[in-house]
Amino acid sequence: MTNFTLTKFFRRDLLLHSGQILFLLTPATLLAKNLLKKTPMSSTYYNKLISVVLDPTKKQDDNPFTLNTKKYSLVLFDVTNSKIIKQSPINLFPHDIIRLNRSSDKVLMIEKWGSKICSYDITKNRTMKFRDITEEKHSGPKYVPSLMGHGQVAGTDKFIYTTEIIVDDRNLNSSLDFKLFGNGFVSVRNTDSLQTVKRISTFGKIPHDCILLDDQKTLAVLNSGTEYMVERKIVNYDPKLNLSSLVFIDLESGKLIKKILLKNTPHIRPVHMKRTKDGDFIIIGKPNLSRRKTYRRKDQSVLVLKDQKTFYPIAIPLELRGRLTHEMLSMELDKHRSIVGVTSPDDNIVTFWDYELKKFIKNLNINHPRSIRATKDNKYYVVNGQDGLVYISTNDLKIKHLIYKKEVEFKNAHSVIL
């Protein structure tokens, strides 16, 4: 495997943070041969980021059903020395990347609205297991499962839990049976083979994010509810089945422990969540297109669920009203304070909120920010923006430096720092 040194895209005087970053990079963005230089492989992967980069010289299609997944490579990037250490092509476009365990450098990559899941060994630079779940039929040949991009790894690493839904054949001329489409389930998969051991209902429509609780026996799942599909004839529609909810499921029995309907903010479809050290849930989402058209103009906000009882949005300040009308995509909690950073790609803004004091703190204008993650030492938030990697100080929430320039475009929704 050829290793690379970058000399064109970086300013060393701006690199204030030590660590290594791992990207998914399109082959077209790799440097010309006269810029390539072999470098020794590092023996540690502490504090590196896995991210997705697309080639800006080609027209990209964000449709998850038609996305060309042959344009990506897994790249290990050394921030300290501005080097690409190694790269390897992959044949899927992951929505989320999850570490398999805390002691090794193995990750799990999961597509969203797709069928591919893959385990990958960073040290050996190879795919351990790749699986296409298309053959896992549901409810007859017309309906197939679809991965929703998120999952959790059991503490023993023996099983993984992936959120999935039932989709139809995507024939837009056919009617859509609401009782089947979007039904959520969790697949319990063997970590080594990625094969399904059993399926558990999520007791709702369109599950997305999930969190394994500390007891390793309970899975919290966020059911988003379906969007109204105007181009389809919908049969058997039941609005009661379409409510957003946070559910707690016993993994051993598959039984529902508790279901919390998220009804106080009907203009928001909850999609992603984090759990605080006190056990509260911070939730973000996107405009609810299944509601009245007037809701599309309402601002999105950070939602807080305390003690699994009290559910409320954090008030939006006057200066931000009308600026948060699109999806809040990714978020990260400060390790020491009750602060959460949130990206809003289509609003070109990153916002910071105090979920304990229930107030807005600050916003930064960043071009199409997507993933946000904190470094291991909690000194920086690392944001994947359209212009590159932006480092934001967790101390004063100011931008410190831009690591990557406009030669590439960062697109992944959820990075992970190992």
Q: What is the pLDDT of residues 220-254, one digit of tens each?
A: 999 998 765 545 567 777 777 778 999 999 999 99
Residue 177's pLDDT is: 74
Q: 248 Cβ partners below 8 Å, 6+ apart?
A: 213, 218, 219, 220, 256, 257, 258, 259, 308
Residue 38's pLDDT is: 31
Could you tell me the pLDDT band of residue 28, with boundaries at 50, 70 and 90?
very low
Summarize the confidence of residues 89-93 as an average pLDDT. 80
Residue 240's pLDDT is: 73
Task: For residues 392 and 413, give the distance between their C-alpha atoms in angstroms, rounded to a whole number.
Answer: 18
Q: Does residue 260 surpass a pLDDT of 90?
A: yes
Percent of the chain clearing pLDDT 90 (strictly above): 42
Q: Does residue 164 surpass a pLDDT of 70?
A: yes
Q: Does residue 195 surpass a pLDDT of 90?
A: yes
Least reliable range by pLDDT among 81-85, 96-100, 274-278, 355-359: 81-85
Q: Read off the tokens for 45.
A: 């992967």
Domain 98-261: CATH superfamily is YVTN repeat-like/Quinoprotein amine dehydrogenase (2.130.10.10)
Percent of the chain clearing pLDDT 70 (strictly above): 70
How far the first Cα of the chain sits from its last, in Å, is 22
Residue 47's pLDDT is: 67
Could you tell me the pLDDT band of residue 169, with boundaries at 50, 70 and 90?
low
Mean pLDDT for the chain? 77
- 128-151 pLDDT, tens digit per residue, is 999 998 877 654 555 678 899 999
Hey, which residues does 164 pair with through a beta bridge?
Answer: 147, 185
Task: For residues 329 and 346, give the distance between their C-alpha atoms in angstroms, rounded to a whole number.
Answer: 10
Question: Domain extents for the chain?
Answer: 98-261
- Assign 3-state DSSP to the chain and report helix, strand, coil percentages, each to 5: 5, 45, 50
Summarize the confidence of residues 318-335 as an average pLDDT. 93
